[in-house]
Chains A and B, each alone.
Chain A
């Protein structure tokens, strides 16, 4: 264990990136999934008349895409090279690097989702939107989903029935995050000031920190037989 925690995390993240680039079809598949989900939403809703529905739809789509991304993660962590590295690194480095990696991945997917939303549903309900708040919400929501779902995926993986349990274990755990992020986005679309959206922002940060602390403390128990 000559490497420090920090450089272990950096090393693992680098390997994850490389493996992701080698398998470009993974991310492409997720974007196609997102596209078809949104296309179905577009065809069935035709138009979204108010900001509340706009924000809620954005996050419901985001939630399903994130779960799909984690299903992929359940497979790809069987990637032999990464698996070997995982056995060498310390568990805290593994969980932190995986959380960061999935948070970035989910954030990227949510940005794609936002662009597709603007394409399909237009910005007619976004007249008063505060873009800074929307982007902040997107980032905090994605990191929260990334951390919680990474942890749940590791847990589900250990049961030997990962894909089946993932949704059952994951959905209830993201309820508070989802309630908060939907409300934050709705208020951002209504164009309130940062100060009046402060409670939601604080809650988002607290939920993120809570998820990270729990994942950090509990992952070593979960990892490795």
Chain B
């Protein structure tokens, strides 16, 4: 079998690039929390906690923004360190609405937000109210290449580069398996009017080997996807396992393909094995699409972009994530194909050895 080295080099380079940048790219600065639990007219003093911010290195300007029409300047009383700052604010009696956000700006971090962190009481709401001019903000210099900060997900957003490509790779390998299974059936077909034509094993066996090995490697990626997903779920959804339709669908896919291998191993007669395994594989692959692409669309789940689209929408993936995510996907698909090729050659050597 002639092998081409190009794709292996590409695969190794892509995965090295992904391994480095997936871990080293910083998260965008953000405001985490405040100890201010309630605001009413009058003076308040409070602490703001930031994440990856540089309060001590910049000229900070802090505002309370009300519905992006009214801005109330806050006075920074003390910069404790890069991620903690003390400030005070005097609230007027009249406000525009009850939606508040802290907005902090300096020349290093740019602008960071914290939306509606506290209870709003005792104000007169006046929808006509407006600030004569909104503050001007300066652009940050630190965050030119960083992952977006998402509450709850936070640093675990790096798992996107590992968890999601596993599923793409599994799909890729299972589709190879499906195509090879169909080939087994088509090439192994007997003549129309039931005259028995001997099937040439050399013609069918390679396709059966390919179907089995790609499904086997696909199952490994399925396990890896489940494991990375489980770790991610522990951090974001607070449980190792949840009742998410996609998660349970993935486990069902794993069970279906396990049944495929049990079926293969329980048949001794080779010709029979090829045919029956191919038929079951076609069922399994279509079931995979039903379980992972169709059913999650009709069930409420925890995965992003649910109820309509069981994947990432364009809003979830910003450009800095894309520059790592797409190479990661291609890299892992190539890796899956590479492992599949090696497994196939090992199997072929074993079979040749048996036939000697």
**8 Å CB contact of B295 from A165, A169, A203, A222:** A203
Closest to A161 in B: B266
- Chain A CB within 8 A of B287 CB: yes
**Interface bits B260-287 vs A (CB < 8 Å: 1, else 0):** 0011001100001001101110111011
State A47–B298 Cα separation when bound (angstroms). Answer: 31
**8 Å CB contact of A172 from B245, B259, B278:** B259
State A221–B182 Cα separation when bound (angstroms). Answer: 11
Contact: B275 with A168, CB < 8 Å? no
A43 to chain B, nearest CB (A): 29
Residues of A whose CB lies within 8 Å of any CB of B are: 155, 158-161, 164-165, 168-169, 171-173, 175-176, 179-180, 183, 199-200, 203, 206-207, 210, 214, 218, 221-222, 224
Give chain B residues whose Cβ lies under 8 Å from the Cβ of A171: 255, 259
- Chain A CB within 8 A of B324 CB: no
Contact: A155 with B279, CB < 8 Å? yes
Known: A165-B266, A168-B259, A221-B185. A176 touches B291 (CB 8 A): yes
Interface hits, B125-140 → A, CB 8 Å: none
Contact: B275 with A169, CB < 8 Å? no
Contact: A221 with B252, CB < 8 Å? no
Q: Chain A at the B interface: mostly helix, strand, loop or mixed?
A: helix
Interface hits, B158-178 → A, CB 8 Å: none
Contact: B267 with A207, CB < 8 Å? no
A224 to chain B, nearest CB (A): 8
Contact: A169 with B282, CB < 8 Å? no
Closest to A224 in B: B194
- Chain A CB within 8 A of B256 CB: yes
**8 Å CB contact of B263 from A159, A203, A210, A224:** A159
Q: Chain B at the A interface: mostly helix, strand, loop or mixed?
A: helix
Show 19 A/B contacts (Cβ-Cβ < 8 Å), sorted by A: A155-B263, A155-B276, A158-B276, A159-B263, A159-B266, A169-B280, A173-B283, A173-B287, A175-B287, A176-B295, A179-B245, A180-B295, A203-B294, A203-B295, A210-B286, A214-B282, A218-B185, A218-B279, A222-B279
Contact: A214 with B283, CB < 8 Å? yes
Contact: B279 with A176, CB < 8 Å? no
Chain B CB count within 10 A is highest, among A155, A171, A222, for A155
Contact: B283 with A159, CB < 8 Å? no
B211 to chain A, nearest CB (A): 14
State A173–B194 Cα separation when bound (angstroms). Answer: 31
Contact: B256 with A173, CB < 8 Å? yes
**8 Å CB contact of A175 from B252, B272, B278:** B252
Give chain A residues whose Cβ lies under 8 Å from the Cβ of B298: 199-200, 203
- Chain A CB within 8 A of B59 CB: no
Known: A161-B266, A168-B262, A172-B255. A210 touches B290 (CB 8 A): yes
- Chain A CB within 8 A of B116 CB: no
Known: A172-B256, A199-B298, A210-B290. A222 touches B282 (CB 8 A): no
Chain A CB count within 10 A is highest, among B275, B278, B283, B298, for B283
Give chain B residues whose Cβ lies under 8 Å from the Cβ of A218: 185, 279, 282-283
Give chain B residues whose Cβ lies under 8 Å from the Cβ of A214: 282-283, 286
**Interface bits B15-31 vs A (CB < 8 Å: 1, else 0):** 00000000000000000
Contact: B287 with A176, CB < 8 Å? yes
Give chain A residues whose Cβ lies under 8 Å from the Cβ of B185: 218, 221
B62 to chain A, nearest CB (A): 48
New A-B pairs, 19, CB < 8 Å, besides A206-B294, A222-B275: A155-B263, A155-B280, A159-B266, A159-B276, A165-B262, A165-B266, A168-B262, A168-B263, A169-B259, A169-B262, A171-B259, A172-B252, A175-B255, A175-B256, A175-B291, A180-B295, A203-B298, A218-B185, A218-B282
Closest to A183 in B: B299
Give chain A residues whose Cβ lies under 8 Å from the Cβ of B189: 221
State A172–B294 Cα separation when bound (angstroms). Answer: 16
